[in-house]
Structure 1
Amino acid sequence: MSIGCLCIHGYTGSPEEVQPLADFLSGRTTWEISNPTLPGHGEELDLQGHYYQEWIATAELALLDLLERNDTIVIIGFSMGGMIAAYLTAKYRINRLVLLSAAGKYVSLPQMYKDIYEMFADAWKGALASNELFTRYQRKLQQTYLFSTFEFMKCVQFTRPYLKQVRCPVLIIQGELDGMVPKKTAEFLDEEIPAEEKELVFLKNSKHLICHGDDKDELFDTVLEFLD
C-alpha cells in the first residue's frame, strides 16, 4: 500500500511553515510527501493579483497528482491551509486529516504584530531562532496587500461550510499560546466536524508557528502516531 501525504501551508506563508514536520515524516516513513507553494506565497511574497481560488486549485492539483500514484492519502493543513485541507477532504476520499492551528476564524493581524515585537525582544537576548522568525514575519507584513487579506477572508468563508462534510478521522492540534488563531477556534472545529473519530490536542508552549515551536517534538510524534 502506497501513501501520499499533502502538506498545505498558511496565508502569507511558505512550505517552510510545515517543512520540519514534512522532514520528520519523510525520515520515518516511505510516504510520498508533497508540500507545494501556493501562488503569490513563498519566502518572497508576491500576493498582488492572486485570488483564493488559485490557492485552492494549486493544493487540489497537488492532491490529484498524489492520487495518481498512491492508494492512501492523508492531508496536513496549517492555518489557512487547514481550511483548504478540510475542503479537499470533503470533496475527495481522504483517509486522514490533520489540522494545525487551522484558521476556522480569521487570523488576528494585531496579534501578529505583538508576536513580532516579542520575537524582537528575544532576539536582543540572543535567541537566534526567534530572530529568524522576526525577520520572516516582518517581511510578511511589509509585503501583504489589503486586497490579499480580503482574499484570505473569502477563502475561510468559502471553505468553512465544508467542515460539516468531513467524515474521515481528524486530528486537531492547537498551541495554547496562539493568539492569531485562538484556542476557541480549535474548539469550534471540533464542534463543526462530524467525524466519529476526532482528537483535539493543545500544546502548552506553542504559538501560531506550531511546527517551529517548543513543543514540536511532541507535535511530530502525535501526528505520526495518528497517521501511521
Structure 2
Amino acid sequence: MSGPGPVVPVSGEQAAAFDLGEGDCAVLCLHGFTGTPYEVRPLGEALAAAGYRARGPMLPGHGSSLAELAGASYRDWLAAAHAEFRELAGRHERVCVVGLSMGGLLTLSLCAEQPVAMAAVIGTPLRLRFPIPQLVPLLRYVLPSVPKRGGSDIRDPLARARHPSAPRMPLAGIHEVLRAQRHVRALLPRIATPLLVAHGRHDATADPRHASRICRAVSSTRCERLMLENSAHVVPVDHDGPQLAAALVAFLGGSREASQRC
C-alpha cells in the first residue's frame, strides 16, 4: 500500500520471490498489497544469515499487470499463504511467519488457522483510514484504479526511489483488503501465537495505534510491540530496517522456553 514518495514501477529481479538459507526452522515472509517480495527480502537475508530458511513468495496478482491484481481476491492471497505454509511445514519441524501490511493480515489469519510457531507483523492495518472503507465498495464499479500519489510510504528518500511497486492501485483490490481486514478482526481472539508487532512511527498508510490494538485483541501470552521511530510504512527497506531485522532475529531465537522459540 502507498503514501508519499516518487513512484517506481515493478522490476523483474528486484521483485522476484526468494528462498534463502537453510535451517531446522523456516520463516515465511509475506509482502503487502501492490508490493513484491523485495520489500521483505532484507528480513529474509537477515534470517538466512542467522541460520533460518527464509522464503518470500509473490502473492497472486502481484508483480504483473494491474488487471491481474484487480482480479485477485483476498481468498486467493490467503490460499497462497496457506499453501506456502503447508509446503514449509512438510519439510521443517517449526515454521514462523512474518508479514508486512496486507501480508501481516495474512500472517494473523495463519496464526489462527495453522500451527505457526512464532510470528511477526509489520505496519498491519486492522482498518483503512476514513473515508476509504466507506467509498471503495461503490467507487470500484465506476473507477477501476487510482494512481499512487507520491508512491511508496518510505521515509528514506533513496530507498523510496528504488522501491519497486505497482504505479496504481485497483479499487477492486482495495475492496479485497477491506474484506481481509474484516476476516482477520474476527479471528484475533483465537490467536495464541507468540507475536512481535512492529510499526513505523511515521506510517501514513496504517495507523501506528493498530500495533497496540492487535496486542490487546489477541490471546497470545507473549505479544511484544516495537515502534520504529524513524520509519514510515515499508519499514524493512526504510531507515530502521536493520533495527527491525535484528529485533526479528532476536525475537525468534530469544525465548528461554524451547516451545516459544523458532
**Which residue of structure 2 lines up, in the alignment, with residue 225 of structure 1?**
250
The TM-score normalised by the length of structure 2 is 0.75
Which blocks of at least 5 consecutive residues in structure 1 are unaligned?
none
Q: Is the 8 A contact 1:119 1:131 kept in 2?
A: no
Measure the CA separation in 1 of the matches of 2:121 and 2:153: 26
Aligned length: 216
Measure the CA separation in 2 of the matches of 1:109 and 1:226: 36
SS in structure 2 at match of 1:75: strand
Question: 1:71–1:48: structure 2 CA closer, same or farther, 3 Å change rule?
Answer: same
**Which residue of structure 2 lines up, in the alignment, with residue 82 of structure 1?**
104
1:50 aligns with 2:77: no
Which blocks of at least 5 consecutive residues in structure 2 are unaligned?
1-22, 133-146, 254-262
Aligned pairs (5 A) from 1:1-228? 2-29=24-51, 31-42=52-63, 45=66, 46-106=68-128, 116=151, 127-133=157-163, 136-137=164-165, 139-141=166-168, 144-228=169-253
SS in structure 2 at match of 1:50: coil
SS in structure 1 at match of 2:27: strand
Percent of aligned positions that are identical: 25
Q: Is the 8 A contact 2:152 2:160 kept in 1?
A: no
Q: Aligned-pair RMSD on alpha carbons?
A: 2.5
Task: Report the alpha carbon displacement of residue 109 of structure 1 after superposing the two structures with TM.
Answer: 9.6
Task: Report the alpha carbon displacement of residue 44 of structure 1 after superposing the two structures with TM.
Answer: 5.2
Question: 1:160–1:16: structure 2 CA closer, same or farther, 3 Å change rule?
Answer: same
Q: Kindly provide the CA deviation profile for residues 83-103 of structure 1, in whole angstroms up to 9, marking residues without a partner as x.
A: 111111111111101011112
Task: Report the structure, 1 or 2, having the larger helix content.
Answer: 1
Runs in 1 of length 4+ with deviation above 4 angstroms?
107-110, 112-115, 117-120
Amino acid at match of 1:174: H
SS in structure 2 at match of 1:222: helix
Task: Report the alpha carbon displacement of residue 79 of structure 1 after superposing the two structures with TM.
Answer: 0.4
Question: 1:63–1:109: structure 2 CA closer, same or farther, 3 Å change rule?
Answer: farther
Question: 1:167–1:181: structure 2 CA closer, same or farther, 3 Å change rule?
Answer: same
**Which residue of structure 1 lines up, in the alignment, with residue 142 of structure 2?**
none
